[in-house]
Amino acid sequence: MSPTASPDTPRRPVGQVTFLGAGPGDPGLLTLRAVEVLASADVLVSDPLTAAAVRAHCPAQVEVHPAADDGDAFVLDEGGVLGGDGGAAVSRFFGAVRGGKHVVRTVDGDPGLDGRAAEEMLACAQAHVPFQVVPGVAQSVGVPAYAGVPLRAGAQGADVRFVDANGLLPESAWADLGACESTLVVRTVLGSVPSTASALVNHGRKPETPVSVTLEGTTTRQRTWCGTLGTIAAELKSAKVLPSPVSAPVNPASNVIVVVGEQVEHRSSLSWFETKPLFGWNVLVPRTKDQAGALSEQLRGYGAVPSEVPTIAVEPPRTPQQMERAIKGLVTGRYEWIAFTSVNAVKAVREKFEEYGLDARAFAGIKVAAVGETTAQALVDFGVKPDLVPSGEQSAAGLLEDWPPYDPVFDPIDRVLLPRADIATETLVAGLVELGWEVDDVTAYRTVRAAPPPAETREAIKGGGFDAVIFTSSSTVRNLVGIAGKPHNVTVIACIGPATAKTAEEHGLRVDVLAPAPSVHALAEALAEFGAARRDAALEAGEPVYRPSERRPGSRRKAR
């Protein structure tokens, strides 16, 4: 009998290595193809800068390894094992590939231009290990773009040269770079910038040639300094970012991207990233954890770094029988209306529906009201289109203004279901009763104070480490002060409405920003306008632009 497997015999899966460019630092610069590939990773080997960003797109069970700390490539030894100076952590990668696993090796930037990925690809090719390449945004391309330095502008700057000066360049290389007129994009470390500038001048470049130096490019910690080849060393010392005999505020070994050439002069007009209204601001978002996402995303769009700190935990009611009767009443036609006053109320009813095997079809024949756009969207996500959303103020009072009075001719049922929190105000209930409706006020969930945040977060709150705090309700004010202490007086306080602002003032806080409308979108927009006005005022006065946390005055000025 032949030992050859029959056509029906399952073939052993064939693994491979994917070399994937993760971009220069901004998680939003991951390509669609990169996200798709990461979702199929069995083993992840990641460079440090983008490790967290790529991990977020991998399966929960992925095996994670850091790339070699010293930057050495992992290589295949004579026995066919991926190892090298990176150590034992990578010694089983080849075995994983032979076992059918997908090893994804992510590179900060682009595999063909950044790091040591090319050597690793050659090692795989020599050992006949299947691999593929997913390009990414190279650091030498992405960082100048975020710094507002176009590498080409029409005919000017048509010749661009990319230089890796982290290694020791021979004298002939410096002579070539000094003699040419190309725009240079140089990868180096902060401490080497003065010597790089001197080498270019010594080999023929004009001292007045414009230069930009960008640290931590494409992240919200990005900083860019400009000067000329003759002045850039003095500029960095004046900015106190180069080490001195007394202190070294920035690690001189930090990687930077240096652009040399006339293109740098465009930065004054094209600096779009570092001029965002809240660029680099650390903003505390004290909210229910599962409700902070949209607000945090909007803040990131303004250049801020949001920190979500739960101050309220949502728990089921102590006695579930009331909600059980309410859901039964919905199905049996007890109610004409159901009114949702929060996303949590929608979530509580939805969870009960799922518990009983129901879906959005159970709302058939029932009118649905939502207190505002956010709650309405939660209903739409559930498959329910609200019949009533306030046309004016998005609050209980606004909902009452549009709510129709009970009419026994047109309303066969006079009862409204109101599922809400255990500590909700009576405004809506009283208003509906006044309009002639009977109200079943049901506790759908309880709000309790969350556990205190970590000690470092509490210290940052009380010590002025945050530039702003956003309060979206009176309870977030009370709970944050209760679990973490009162924010420092340099911290900008932003409140969603007058009631929240009043609570903040009662706790000794000075409100700087008040949203023009009671929505988180309007609140974030108002904070951005405040930050922009603050920045413009500093520039008009010829002063440096500081974040609130970078100053420690005795008191804060009022909002503009």
pLDDT tens track for 412-430: 899 999 998 877 668 899 9
Residue 81 is predicted with a pLDDT of: 42
CB 273 within 8 A of CB 279: yes
Structure-token pair, residue 60 = 């929960």
- What are the φ and ψ backbone dihedral angles of 131, each rounded to 5 degrees? -150, 160
Residue 243 is predicted with a pLDDT of: 62
For residue 76, pLDDT over 60 is answered with no
CB 154 within 8 A of CB 183: no
Residue 134 is predicted with a pLDDT of: 97
pLDDT in tens, 379-395: 999 999 999 999 877 77
- What are the φ and ψ backbone dihedral angles of 350, each rounded to 5 degrees? -60, -40
> For the purposes of burial, counting CB atoms within 10 Å of the CB of 507, is it exposed (0-12), middle (13-18) or buried (19 or more)?
middle
Amino acid identity at 133: V
CA distance linking residue 487 with residue 465, whole number of Å: 9
**Chain-wide mean pLDDT for the chain?**
86
CA triplet 390, 493, 536: central angle to 5 degrees?
A: 100
CA distance linking residue 75 with residue 58, whole number of Å: 24
Residues in the chain: 560
- Compare 520 and 274 and report the one with higher pLDDT: 274
CB 440 within 8 A of CB 339: no
Name the region of 114 (left: φ>0; alpha: ψ -120 to 50; beta: rest): beta
- The domain 316-449 having CATH identifier 3.40.50.10090: the answer here is yes
* pLDDT band at residue 94 using 50, 70 and 90 as cut-offs: confident
Pairing of strands 312-315, 438-449: antiparallel
> Residue 477 contacts by C-beta under 8 Å, 6 or more apart in sequence?
471, 495, 500, 503, 504, 507, 509
- The domain 282-311+452-541 having CATH identifier 1.10.645.10: the answer here is no
CATH classification code of 16-75+83-137: 3.40.1010.10
Residue 238 is predicted with a pLDDT of: 86
CA distance linking residue 480 with residue 417, whole number of Å: 31
Q: What are the b/e assignments for 536-545, b being 16+ CB within 10 Å?
A: eeeeeeeeeb
* pLDDT band at residue 288 using 50, 70 and 90 as cut-offs: low
Unique residue bearing structure tokens 């209930």: 429
* pLDDT band at residue 69 using 50, 70 and 90 as cut-offs: low
Q: How far is CA 44 from CA 73, 107, 115, in A?
A: 15, 11, 17
Q: By three-state DSSP, how is residue 467 classified?
A: coil
Residue 16 is predicted with a pLDDT of: 92
Residue 290 is predicted with a pLDDT of: 53
The yes-or-no answer to whether 16-75+83-137 and 141-270 have a common fold is: no
* pLDDT band at residue 157 using 50, 70 and 90 as cut-offs: low
Q: By three-state DSSP, how is residue 148 classified?
A: coil
> For the purposes of burial, counting CB atoms within 10 Å of the CB of 289, is it exposed (0-12), middle (13-18) or buried (19 or more)?
middle
pLDDT in tens, 159-194: 899 999 887 788 999 999 999 989 999 999 999 999
Domain boundaries, the chain: 16-75+83-137, 141-270, 282-311+452-541, 316-449
Amino acid identity at 200: L
Closest CA relative to residue 17, chosen from 140, 109, 126? 126
Count CA within 13 A, CB hemisphere, residue 20: 34
Sign of the torsion formed by the C-alpha atoms of 52, 57, 61 and 67: negative
CB 474 within 8 A of CB 495: no
Q: By three-state DSSP, how is residue 177 classified?
A: helix
CA distance linking residue 24 with residue 109, whole number of Å: 5
CA 235 centroid distance within chain: 31
H or E element, residue 438: strand 438-449
Residue 556 is predicted with a pLDDT of: 41
For residue 8, pLDDT over 90 is answered with no
Percent of the chain surpassing pLDDT 70: 88
Q: Per 3-state DSSP, what percentage of the chain is helix, strand, and coil (rounded to 5)?
A: 35, 20, 45
Closest CA relative to residue 25, chosen from 254, 358, 267, 347? 254
- The domain 141-270 having CATH identifier 3.30.365.10: the answer here is no
Residue ranges of alpha helices (H) inside 396-495 are 396-402, 427-434, 455-463, 474-484
**Helices H / strands E in the chain, number of each:** 19, 22
Unique residue bearing structure tokens 């060393």: 233
